Structure 1
């Protein structure tokens, strides 16, 4: 009998990023044309909701890949009021603006985005344990 909950978990492992690819190969797979114009990769249209373990039982929920037409500050305000948690917007070089919320809010965020905001459930990917 083995203990399943003590296994290590990488929340970014299931995003499809392959660290073994060179930058040229990754550019070709992402759809970079010969002229340098970058096509949007299929996974870029998804909104990713992840959970990260902090110290002890504390967790942090991150939301990234939100389309530009949605204001993250207004969403944070609605999340904080609806879920009774603290949150912030962090600017990341690779991911753009990332919303961070305290606690495990993954399911609540996905339901809120689908029902209140009107984002299709097919575009929301929930990662985590």
Structure 2
């Protein structure tokens, strides 16, 4: 078979630079809470540096806050950590204490 290098024109994405920088060291880490059902909720952590070991961070978070969680691979956002309950302030304090991110790099969203 013959391999042909053809460039297919794609649409222009004005936010391409912000998407790539969100996962780099200089981007923001977003902490969100989402309502599941009733009083149950989950906390999501996205935008951490891709060089970090998400499984080790998750293990420490679960042990520290006595909750369950997992790492989810999202198409647009990359790896996202999900934790049971509203753990936004706990996760923010943990990330700052362990010096994984600076305080000015964290954005907390939710009600």
The TM-score by the shorter chain falls in which range?
Answer: 0.7 to 0.9
Alignment of 1:28-107 (within 5 A): 28=14, 30=15, 39-40=17-18, 44=22, 45-107=27-89
Equivalent of residue 92 in structure 2, options 103, 110, 115: 110
Most deviating of 79-88 and 65-74: 65-74
Which runs of 5 or more residues in structure 1 are unaligned? 1-22, 31-37
Sort the Cα spacing of 1:125 and 1:43 in 2 relative to 1 into closer, same or farther, 3 A.
Answer: farther
TM-score of the aligned structures, taking structure 1 as reference length: 0.69
Aligned residue for 2:45, secondary structure, equals strand
Aligned-partner Cα distance in 2 for 1:94–1:118 = 22
4+ aligned runs moved over 3 Å, structure 1: 38-43
Aligned residue for 2:67, secondary structure, equals coil
Name the Cα RMSD after superposition.
Answer: 1.8
What whole-Å deviation, never above 9, does each CA across 1:7-54 have from its counterpart, x for those lacking one? xxxxxxxxxxxxxxxx63xx23x2xxxxxxx54459721000000001
Aligned-partner Cα distance in 2 for 1:118–1:125 = 14
